[in-house]
Amino acid sequence: MKTYIKKIYKPMLIFLAVAFLYNCQNQQKNQQTKEEKKMNVIKENFGNVDNKEIYLFTIKNENGMEVNITNYGGIVTSILVPDKNGDFDDVVLGYDNLDGYLKETPYFGAIVGRYANRIAKGKFTLDGVEYILAANNGENHLHGGIKGLDKVVWDAEEFQSEDGAGVKLHYLSPDGEEGYPGNLDITVFYTLTNSNELKIEYSAKTDKPTPVNLTHHSYFNLAGTSGRDILEHVLFIDADKYTVIDESLIPTGELRDVSVTPMDFRKPTTIGSRINKVEGGYDHNYVLNNGGEFAKVTELYDPVSGRIVEVFTSEPGIQFYSGNFLDGSITGKKDVVYSKHFGLCLETQHFPDSPNQVNFPNTILRPGEEYKYTTVYKFSVR
């Protein structure tokens, strides 16, 4: 009997010990994965502006996609995504360091506002009061003025969420800044999700009625740093109409049907195939068919690399800007020269000059209301 117990007892002890060790190891592993997940936002110093520290945040998702964001101007400095062979490259224009952004930038990757796009002659009347804004684009006001949201230092905080990780940016634009009425309290959440999406959630509150129109100004080039321009990219825009503009790019008020014009992107079309028929190139606001609901509104595809970016939003418009003003005078990341049409912007927005256009959807935010919308840039390959 004794030997029998011994026989059973010994292997049992060994089994329990092994099971115990295995369990410990597993717990350690789980702990590690949790920590690894926690670590997918890295915060580094990127310089100093106005005696404030500027950070560069690196966010990486489970698929190896990587996004860099700085709290100077809320700029997305890089987006690394794979092509159809799995090779990663950076698909947005910008600079290697903060200095580039401080010297001169055509809004590369920035948060743009308070009013993205143009306000005619830098003037609007609200509740009987005329407001004068900076004329920083000929006689018109563009992208929030001389020192818009793309040139201010935002408070920044990294976060983890259910679907990914990101950076929360906050900025309080004081009453009168760049001529706009009211203290505008702005929050932007940038999230990189594990579905290869860059999600941008904008919100704002004011203490006086004021126009608000925020957007994101990345210049995409899905060919990466290969040196190709965007003219071979194929674009789809779900819009039956666009806002007709005058020679200073201010809407005339007319919403024109895109049918049988080079403006029609309802069927995916190569950008370069008709761009010569559009004076100056594409720099137009499309009237989206989304009916104000969050939906896919645009798809951009580079047949060579196979990279795709789809845009989802609830905003009524999107500015398709084909990088017409890039002229080779800027040398960007990795010493690539940004010549004409080297990048394109897909800026979700309300229509340009809405504060002066009675028939355009409202852009006036009033105290007690919340400005709020989301745009998603989703990356994939085909």
Residue 49 tokens read as 């502006």
- Check residue 173 for interaction with ligand GLA (CB under 6 A): no
Residue 205 tokens read as 């509150």
User: Which among 143, 216, 217, 341 is annotated as catalytic?
Assistant: 217
User: Which among 158, 177, 315, 347 is annotated as catalytic?
Assistant: 347
For ligand GLA, which is the closer residue by CB, 158 or 283?
283
For ligand GLA, which is the closer residue by CB, 120 or 345?
345
Q: Is 347 a catalytic residue?
A: yes
Least Å distance, CB 110 to ligand GLA, is 10
Q: Work out the number of other CB atoms within 10 angstroms of the CB of residue 172.
A: 14
Element (H, E) at 307: strand 307-313
Nearest to 233 by CA among 273, 288, 285: 273
Distance CA 199, CA 373 (A): 11
The set of residues, in sequence order, having a beta carbon less than 8 Å from that of 209 and lying 6+ positions away, is 126, 127, 181, 182, 364, 365, 366, 367
According to CB under 6 A, which residues from 212 to 251 bind ligand GLA?
A: 249
- Check residue 325 for interaction with ligand GLA (CB under 6 A): yes
Nearest to 318 by CA among 235, 382, 210, 246: 235
- Check residue 190 for interaction with ligand GLA (CB under 6 A): no
Q: Is 350 a catalytic residue?
A: no
- Check residue 107 for interaction with ligand GLA (CB under 6 A): yes
Residue 327 tokens read as 């002229």
The piece of 40-48, 198-206, 299-307, 318-326 that touches ligand GLA (CB under 6 A) is 318-326
Q: Which residue has the tokens 């503009």?
A: 245
- Check residue 283 for interaction with ligand GLA (CB under 6 A): yes
Distance CA 133, CA 58 (A): 35
Query: Which amino acid is present at 158?
Result: E
The piece of 159-167, 236-244, 310-318, 319-327 that touches ligand GLA (CB under 6 A) is 319-327
Least Å distance, CB 124 to ligand GLA, is 18
Least Å distance, CB 344 to ligand GLA, is 9
- Check residue 348 for interaction with ligand GLA (CB under 6 A): no
Nearest residue to ligand GLA, scored by beta-carbon proximity: 321
Q: Which residue has the tokens 């899905």?
A: 222
- Check residue 142 for interaction with ligand GLA (CB under 6 A): yes
Q: How many residues are given for the chain?
A: 382
Instruction: Give the binding site for ligand GLA (CB under 6 A).
Output: 106-107, 117, 142, 249, 283, 319, 321, 325, 345, 347
Q: Which residues are catalytic?
A: 217, 347
